[in-house]
Amino acid sequence: MDRFVERLVGEVLDRFGSDRTRLMDMLWEVQRTRGHISEDAIAALAKGLNMSVPDVAETVTFYHFFRTAPFAQHVIYLADTVIARMNGYDAVRAALIEATGADFGVHDSNGQFGLDDAPCIGLSDQEPAMLLDDVVFSSLTPEKVFEIVAALRSGKSAEELANPEAFEKTSVDYVDAVAEAKILKSGPVLFQEGRDYAAIVKSVVERTPEEIIAEVDASDIRGRGGAGFPAGLKWRLAREAEGAEKYIICNADEGEPGTFKDRALLTHSAKDVLLGMIAAAHSVGSRTGIIYLRAEYWYLKAFLEGQIEEFKAAGLLDKNILGSGLDFDIRIQMGAGAYVCGDETALIESCEGKRGTPRVKPPFPIQHGYLGMPTVVNNVETFALCSRIVEKGGAWFTAMGTEQSSGTRLLSVSGDCVRPGIYEIEWGMTLDEVLKMIGADNAVAVQISGPSGEMLRVDKDRYRKFCYSDLSCNGSMMVFNASRDLLEVARHFTEFFVHESCGICTPCRSGGVDMLAKIDRVIAGRAVAQDLEEFKLWGKLMMATSRCGLGTTAPNPILTTLAKFPELYEARLNTSKSWLLSSFDMEDAMSEFDRAVDNLVREDVQ
């Protein structure tokens, strides 16, 4: 074994006390030092953790960003999203190949550059965008790509390029320099300036847990992650559950394509999120919190750690918070590229160092969560809102929004509109009002809640309302005008789910592939009416029988475009009376013949 690897793994094992539940952190340490996680490193980790080699590799090979082979000095991940493809993705992709001399999945001749794909990296309002080392570059053009690559060749680091004014990594200026947060409409709840955090934390710890839970209950706030579970009830159930320890987890794995509002909250309202977590910890009786941060947001890590340190220095975190006797500390857990880890139980598995397989429910995390203990998992926005509720009161919150959907919600707006960015809206606004607000006069279709949500048809859905009983939007909103091919959009979303399926349950693993193959046939003009019926049948199967939210929502892109825009599908159907099956692809069938000739017939005869 490589001595260097052996020593490195030894140090890493020591640092994490050979605790296998911290495997994600150990893998990151190895990869960030060596550029990849070699067979030797996996073997050494396995030995140190009393795990078999395939067991360690199960975690390594699950995550998109972990590499088992050396790749390149600078690895560039270009976000391949529907929005990027509307904004010059192809030209940027070609420019990257030309400028670097590398290709996607292949590094250049001297190993300086390597290219790879990534799903949405949380910059949909400024795409095309790419990850490069620990930072991002957005609003890319071919010219910008050539400039960046030339600067890297001249010896500059990606970090210097993204942060030319050399701000401290722990400063908000640094994060803003790397990835601008376009907050176009804020208030009255979120992104407030000049909050007195010490006073609010003091008021929290001076109240009983029951009082805090009652306040959150009174606000009627429902989780902003998508499922909409009442936050107060979740906290109460976790409080009542038996457990030697209890945990608070902030889900900052903002992976739904088209969503980027949690990134903005973590940049400009990070302390709101910490405060919300402290309120939850006090309510539930927890001493440990975790922020599960997606690896795409690595440039936020140092800043968030700095925010936690500032809270600690002010006595608002760690031991004996403001003399109340309450202990609560927060650590950051980095993800490594897996959309499914946005599912709370997959996220918990990942926090425990395992592949992100969603758990069988019941039991639910409030009973049996992180390390088997009662655990509250809430979204970033939920914690930020709760920090305001414990300050201003539940009644203040319910005065906003609608009867059933209290308060406000953040929208991440992208696509065909004049003003893409982040908006805080009160629940109850209509689609029409929102489209006017963002300057989307020519919108024909709107994908709400990302690929897992639904495609709206503007002329029919214009007066539908943003609220839990109608458009219970998870924050993502992508707008399309008449020039966009919605079948290509649905196809792209479906492919995303195929890539992100953990593969543990039959309907999601298998059904997604079949749905994708079928929409390819529709687009190629080789589908018939029966195929559209099979979309519905197979989609229903996936929705009804899949194990987690990924599988149950994966057919939505096709099913909702088919429901709203059936004419787009029908126009592509093959209605010819040919005696050949419409699914039969003559060209593909004949290609076998060409291959056979290539392989079997001697060159001189050919």
- Which residues bind to another protein, rule: CB under 8 A? 50-55, 57-58, 61-62, 338, 355, 360-362, 498-507, 509-514, 517, 534, 537-538, 541, 544-547
Residue whose token pair is 């065909």:
416
Maximal CA-CA distance, the chain: 90
Cβ contacts of residue 161 below 8 Å, gap of 6+?
135, 137, 148, 151, 152
Q: Which two tokens stand for residue 214?
A: 């009652």
To the nearest whole angstrom, how small is the minimum distance from the Cβ of residue 255 to another protein? 14
Sign of CA dihedral 147, 151, 157, 161: negative
CB nearer to another protein: give 119 or 401: 119
Q: Which two tokens stand for residue 514?
A: 């079949």
CB nearer to another protein: give 310 or 520: 520
To the nearest whole angstrom, how small is the minimum distance from the Cβ of residue 500 to another protein? 7
Could you tell me if 525 and 574 are in contact, meaning their C-beta atoms sit under 8 angstroms apart?
yes
Could you tell me if 174 and 150 are in contact, meaning their C-beta atoms sit under 8 angstroms apart?
no
- How far apart are alpha carbons 346 and 356 in whole angstroms? 5
Q: Which two tokens stand for residue 565?
A: 């825009």
To the nearest whole angstrom, how small is the minimum distance from the Cβ of residue 541 to another protein? 5
CB nearer to another protein: give 391 or 500: 500
CB nearer to another protein: give 6 or 514: 514
- How far apart are alpha carbons 186 and 197 in whole angstroms? 19
CB nearer to another protein: give 410 or 502: 502
To the nearest whole angstrom, how small is the minimum distance from the Cβ of residue 319 to another protein? 36
To the nearest whole angstrom, how small is the minimum distance from the Cβ of residue 513 to another protein? 6
- How far apart are alpha carbons 369 and 372 in whole angstroms? 5
CB nearer to another protein: give 22 or 263: 22
Could you tell me if 538 and 555 are in contact, meaning their C-beta atoms sit under 8 angstroms apart?
yes
Q: Distance of CA 301 to CAs 280, 289, 347, Å?
A: 22, 15, 18
CA 384 to chain centre: 18
To the nearest whole angstrom, how small is the minimum distance from the Cβ of residue 581 to another protein? 12
CB nearer to another protein: give 54 or 187: 54
Continuous segment of H or E residues that includes residue 477: strand 476-481
CB nearer to another protein: give 84 or 504: 504
DSSP state of 360: P
To the nearest whole angstrom, how small is the minimum distance from the Cβ of residue 582 to another protein? 14
To the nearest whole angstrom, how small is the minimum distance from the Cβ of residue 591 to another protein? 16
